[in-house]
Amino acid sequence: MRHLLSKSKYIRGLQCDRALWLDVFHPDLAQYSRETMRKFDRGREFERAFKDLFPDAVDVSAALGRKFDKYAEFTSNELSREGEVNLFEAGFFFDDVLVLADVVHKRADGTLDIYEVKSGSALSDTYRRDAALQHYVISHCQKINSFSIVYNGKLDKSDLSESSDQSEMSDNFKIVNLTAEFAAEHETIARNIAVMKGTISLTSEPDTPTGAHCQTPYECPYQQHCLTGIRDLSLF
Ligand code: SF4
């Protein structure tokens, strides 16, 4: 099952069609700032800390690496096991989109609790859109009991005095169940995916000009390419 879109490509496509096209056909042109790389590192550390709460989980990415066409089948097999199951980076495929869910807990009744882990201290629109895409894909593969975003509760407590007891800081994870909100987004997501498939089918780079959208919600890694004026990258 070869996928066209992933979580990161979908978010890129919401920001800019040209960035999506470049992500698919010329990812070698991406240049990330040091600050962005540091953010990636902080995000991975925070996610690792949350995953430590599930010591018995099977890490699908550790088993399969970059064999992305195997993730959905491997995940389906793991979820067919009797009883409760915990998985990291479980893969689900629908509508040519492959999503890897950070943490999946299969309950005894067979339904899933899904956790998307974000290291920021607030629920941003981008976090919601990322998670809503996952809800769209996974709900077409399995029955979802809950879909939550986990974010950094510790950062929210930064106004506590230095003398605050460390035990007060132990609740590092805020977990917000947004299942009902995500279900209402499916029509919009299906439309967005159709538009993005159209972008990916183009044989040359979209001629989208640079602008304020190059910084929001993320600093686009293709700015140097777009600002040099080199255009009309073509697949032929
Ligand atoms: S730099 Fe701006 S125009 Fe170029 S791909 Fe990124 S968001 Fe799009």
pLDDT in tens, 162-202: 433 333 333 688 899 999 899 899 999 999 999 999 999 99
Average pLDDT, 10 consecutive residues per value, the chain (236 residues): 88 97 95 92 94 96 96 97 96 97 97 95 90 97 95 59 35 87 94 97 94 93 87 59
- Pocket of ligand 1 contains residue 19 by CB under 6 Å: yes
Residue 163 resides in a domain: no
Which range of residues forms the domain containing residue 96? 7-156+169-227
Q: Residue 80: what pLDDT?
A: 96
DSSP state of 33: -
Residue 236 resides in a domain: no
Locate 96 and state its tokens: 């040519």
Locate 118 and state its tokens: 């974000």
pTM of the model: 0.88
Nearest of 173, 144, 142, 141 to residue 157 by alpha carbon = 173
By most ligand atoms within 8 Å of CB, the mutation choice from 32, 213, 214, 216 for ligand 1 is 214
Residue 63 resides in a domain: yes
Q: Residue 234: what pLDDT?
A: 62
Residue 232 resides in a domain: no
What's the domain count of the chain? 1
- Pocket of ligand 1 contains residue 208 by CB under 6 Å: yes
Query: Which residues, at least 6 apart from 92, have a Cβ–Cβ distance to it below 8 Å?
Result: 72, 75, 98, 99, 101, 134, 137, 138, 141, 142
Residue 26 resides in a domain: yes
Give the CATH number for residue 67: 3.90.320
Q: Residue 229: what pLDDT?
A: 66
- Pocket of ligand 1 contains residue 210 by CB under 6 Å: yes
Residue 162 resides in a domain: no
- Pocket of ligand 1 contains residue 222 by CB under 6 Å: yes
Cα 110 from chain centroid? 24
Rounded distance, CA 195 to CA 26, Å?
19
Name the residue with the closest Cα to ligand 1, atom 2: 214
How far does the centroid of ligand 1 lie from the alpha carbon of residue 226, in Å?
6
Q: pLDDT tens across 39-51, in order?
A: 999 999 999 999 9
Question: Which percentage of the chain shows pLDDT scores above 90?
Answer: 79
